[in-house]
Amino acid sequence: MSRQRTIDTHTHIITEDTIRLLQAAAPSLGISLKTNDADTATLRAGDTVYPDFPTGGFDVARRLRDMDDADVDVQVLSVAPTTYLYKQDAALCAATSVIQNDQLARLIAAHPARFMAIGTLPMQDPKRAADELRRCMTQLRLSGAMIASNVAGTNLDDPNLEPVWATAEETGALMYIHPYHVAAADRLKSYYLGNLIGNPLDTTIAAACLIFGGVMQRHPKLKVCLSHGGGFTPYQAARWEHGWAVRPEAKKHLKEQPRNIVGQFFYDTILHSDRTLRGLIDLAGASRVLLGSDYPYDMAMMDCVRHVRSLALPRADEDRILGGHAETLLVGTA
């Protein structure tokens, strides 16, 4: 029996070539990369500074070595969240999205056995975002898009975003929700809570809005993956279902009782705990859980493959999580 190839669906990249193109197209953004040492660099984009950006985030050769060390056959590339740029002018963000998506397509072409990719979109302009998603899917052979959990403070159920969801459903794009500019940031400044709590919290808000805003109901074929094990969604979804039954506010845009909310999303494996990951698999089912690492960031699980294998799951479930289901979700669209 042949070994299931492992597909890490949650990784980020911004190469030095991409940075040079962004600098030329948008000098006002102040995007730069300065090497600190063999393992890190300082990445700047506007007011955002990442002082210890790992070398694998921009150096493809280093990335490939790290993949080999981690038993990862394929990475699904996505851009660095600092380059979403939803607060910038829509035309500028559309231009930088095109640059980055074209660069992702070039990386796939250069390493077809090792890389797949999901694009980035100018979400502050839903028409442009829908058009760019269609281009990603039909011309660039990408497999979807990674978008932030909110659009500069606007929740994902905003009616103006309907063209994006309709295009995603039509094209079969996988829409990966990644937290950024998280809620309650003023209360999460200490102890790295902006990431430890803020990131999963904002993913949870995004998921709830997609449910109660009726987006998932209007688009039943929509494929949405929630980062970092879904935030708090899998563990509070039953509360949402109960809330719809007893509260009129929850029925505003959702006229039918939501059922099996957990089963309406996909989730990556980035949970840092055997017991928690087992709980997610039990709640959602192995066919809803996708291998993920969050490479190359400090909160990543570089041992994601070994982590899944250590659970001693039934072989069919292990294969689904390690890459079998991603083959269907992603390869089928490429």
Q: What is the DSSP string of 209-233?
A: HHHHTTHHHH-TT-EEEESGGGTTH
Contact 311, 279 (CB under 8 A): no
CB-CB neighbours of 14 under 10 Å: 22
pLDDT in tens, the chain (334 residues): 578 999 999 999 999 999 999 999 999 999 999 999 999 999 998 778 889 999 999 999 999 999 999 999 999 999 999 999 999 999 999 999 999 999 999 999 999 999 999 999 999 999 999 999 999 999 999 999 999 999 999 999 999 999 999 999 999 999 999 999 999 999 999 999 999 999 999 999 999 999 999 999 999 999 999 999 999 999 999 999 999 999 999 999 998 999 999 999 999 999 999 999 999 999 999 999 999 999 999 999 999 999 999 999 999 999 999 999 999 999 655 4
To the nearest 10°, the Cα dihedral for 224, 228, 230, 236? -170
Strand locations in the chain (E): 7-13, 32-35, 40-45, 48-54, 74-79, 115-117, 144-148, 174-178, 223-226, 266-268, 289-290
* Whole-number Cα distances in Å, 20 to 29, 32, 122, 281, 283: 12, 8, 20, 42, 44
- Give Cα 250 to chain centroid, integer Å: 27
Separation of alpha carbons 272 and 305, rounded Å: 12
Sign of the CA dihedral 317, 304, 175, 239? Answer: positive
Separation of alpha carbons 147 and 96, rounded Å: 14
CATH says 7-12+61-331 is which class?
alpha beta
Output the six-digit token pair for 133: 């998603």
Output the six-digit token pair for 183: 């809620």
Give the global pTM.
0.96
Return the residue matching tokens 């796939």. 108
Residue 45 confidence (pLDDT): 85
Domain ranges of the chain: 7-12+61-331
Q: Is 72 helix (H, G, I), strand (E, B) or coil?
A: coil
Q: Note the helical H segments in 40-150.
A: 60-69, 90-110, 126-138
Q: Which of 40, 144, 70 is nearest to 292 (CA)?
A: 70
* Angle, in degrees to the nearest 10, between helices 233-246 and 274-284: 40
* Whole-number Cα distances in Å, 247 to 14, 69, 185, 241, 242: 45, 51, 28, 10, 9
Separation of alpha carbons 98 and 89, rounded Å: 14
Contact 115, 307 (CB under 8 A): no
